[in-house]
Structure 1
Amino acid sequence: MLLLKLQARWCSFMMAGVLVLTAAAGCGGPDGPELFEVKGNVTYEGTPVETGRITFRKKDSDQKAYSAEITAGAYTMQCEAGPCSVEITASRIIPGKFDTSNPDDEPQPVGEMYIPAKYNSKTQLLADVAPSGENTVDFALTEK
């Protein structure tokens, strides 16, 4: 009986050790790429984009993406240095328009993506994140 208790304790001890080693092996360290702060303002037709998202996508082979929220026309994010394509999206509620397709639900406000595709899915925007100094990148978007 004593032998069984010792074996159970030994087994528990070994399992705990394996779990600790596995967790430690999975922890990331400072091996990732160095990131730099990028900040700026985004306007559409001269008005700050109230809420939206901005994504910097690396132009190299791995095309890593770094993203941040746009709030009151401003954003701040961390990104690798180098050239990036930039995608900007934003949506808003259409005043006075409601979805009434489900008769069991209250009418729901209808939204729209109002930033043109040339700034997101078909972006032509570019930014170059510098490895030193301040990275302020502003975007003044227009319909045309």
Structure 2
Amino acid sequence: MVEVKGTVSLDGNSIPVGDIIFEPADGAGPAAAGQIREGKFDVQCPVGTKKVIISAARKTGKKGKEFGEDIMESYIPAKYNTESELQENVSQDSENEFHFVLKSM
């Protein structure tokens, strides 16, 4: 396991709260996950080529009818999570610092 850290922004703005997952690109082995806070993350991760999945949700301003809870919406485009195209190589011999500059369009 090595430390993987970095930043995440969408359209030039830091992601205030979200999640980041580093999955093995070949599908073999464990994934590593952590939280994004104020655009920064710090995760312990196994080495290897990883598919990176980034997600975040925000309040819609609407309330649920039954319990009055805030209704949330995912706002990170699918190409960064459910259909992620992001990939990074996590190495024993490098700093493993990654900066993800995401775009809505």
TM-score when normalising by structure 1 = 0.68
Larger Rg: 1
* Percent of residue pairs identical: 33
Q: Tell me how many residue pairs correspond in the alignment.
A: 105
Aligned counterpart for 1:89 among listed residues 40, 47, 55: 55
Q: CA RMSD in A?
A: 1.3
Structure 2: runs of 5 or more not aligned: none
Aligned counterpart for 2:97 among listed residues 136, 139, 144: 136
- Counterparts of residues 21-32 of structure 1 (less than 5 Å): none
Q: Distance in 1 between matches of 2:52 and 2:32?
A: 10
- Counterparts of residues 1-144 of structure 1 (less than 5 Å): 35-95=1-61, 97-99=62-64, 101-102=65-66, 105=67, 107-144=68-105
Moved over 6 A (4+): none
Structure 1: runs of 5 or more not aligned: 1-34
Q: Which has the higher contact order (CA 8 A, sep 6+)?
A: 2
